[in-house]
Amino acid sequence: MALSKNKIKLIQSLSKKKYRDEMGLFVAEGEKLIHQLLAAQFKFQTLIATPLMMEQFSTSNGDLVEASYDEIKKISSLITPQEVVAIFYQPKNNLPEALQKNELMIALDDIQDPGNLGTIIRLASWFGIKQVICSLKTADCYNSKVIQATMGAIAHVNIYYSNLKDFLETAHRQQIKVYGTFLEGDNIYQSALLPDGIIVMGNEGNGISPDIEKLIDHKLFIPTFATNGQNVESLNVSVAAAIICSEFKRKTI
């Protein structure tokens, strides 16, 4: 089947959250990423590939469309387009009323940058964290930049969007501890960290919002080791998330 104008129009429309939400679809690009999504039982609506690449997906269930590399370049969002693009159905993730105890979760308070969100999802997968809860103003996890930044990790992490204040209030009622990073917090390397709870990461520019700060049980601080009076900017939120997750997991070894 040839790549139709309607299919091109559909893919282009999915660059906007409004249409991704309306249709329950998202776009993924690249052989490795698409294989990971398929292995995790993600269902695709349409898969578009060059003839040679299509051989790898010939037994897949769905609409298979052969296209030239030049045609794929026209629908790709990447600077260096891959030879395969797929439109996937978004999984339905409903946040359970009873939160899982005895596990570590990440909550995101209005993370805006798609690259940061994708990297944090990838970190969650790396550290065996299965639940990521996003505030309603956090970037859309089905944005193509987020999907690519996860490097396939989105297939292994449950992502929920919720009123974060309500979620953390529920966590308190269920006696789940909530952590967050602040400049006036306790040194994370000297803190007693439990193997479970919720780690809250704040907005890139404003940090954790005042309403959410009130629900933090333990404020943590990542100290700098800069010397000779060096003026070091604060850490990027995804870098901070990596340090925090690593320290929590290190304490469980």
108 residue type, one letter = L
pLDDT, tens digit, 9 for 90 and up, residues 143-197 = 999 999 999 999 999 999 999 999 999 999 999 999 999 988 999 999 989 889 9
pLDDT mean across residues, the chain: 91
Distance of CA 131 to the CA centre of its chain: 10
pLDDT at 239: 95
Which residue intervals of the chain bear CATH 3.30.1330.30? Answer: 5-89
191 residue type, one letter = S
pLDDT, tens digit, 9 for 90 and up, residues 219-253 = 999 998 877 656 667 789 999 999 999 999 987 77
Average pLDDT, stretch 23-27? Answer: 97
pLDDT at 31: 93
Q: What is the dihedral of CA 214, 174, 203, 209, to 10 degrees?
A: -20
Cα 82 to Cα 10, 30, 33, 112, 253: the distances in Å are 19, 5, 11, 26, 40
> Could you confirm whether domain 104-250 is CATH 3.40.1280.10?
yes
pLDDT at 97: 66
146 C-beta neighbours (distance < 10 Å), count: 24
Q: Is pLDDT of 108 > 80?
A: yes
Q: 235-238: long-range contacts (C-beta < 8 A, 24 or more apart)?
A: 236/116, 236/204, 237/111, 237/113, 237/116, 237/120, 237/201, 237/202, 237/203, 237/204, 238/115, 238/116, 238/119, 238/120, 238/123
What percentage of the chain exceeds 90 in pLDDT?
77
Q: For the structural domain made of 5-89, what CATH number should be given?
A: 3.30.1330.30
171 C-beta neighbours (distance < 10 Å), count: 21
3-state secondary structure of 93: coil
**Helix axes of 237-250 and 114-126: crossing angle, nearest 10 degrees:** 10
Backbone angles phi, psi at 146, to 5 degrees: -70, -50
Average pLDDT, stretch 27-44? Answer: 93
Cα 19 to Cα 12, 13, 72: the distances in Å are 10, 6, 21
Q: Is pLDDT of 28 > 90?
A: yes
pLDDT at 102: 81
Which residue intervals of the chain bear CATH 3.40.1280.10? Answer: 104-250
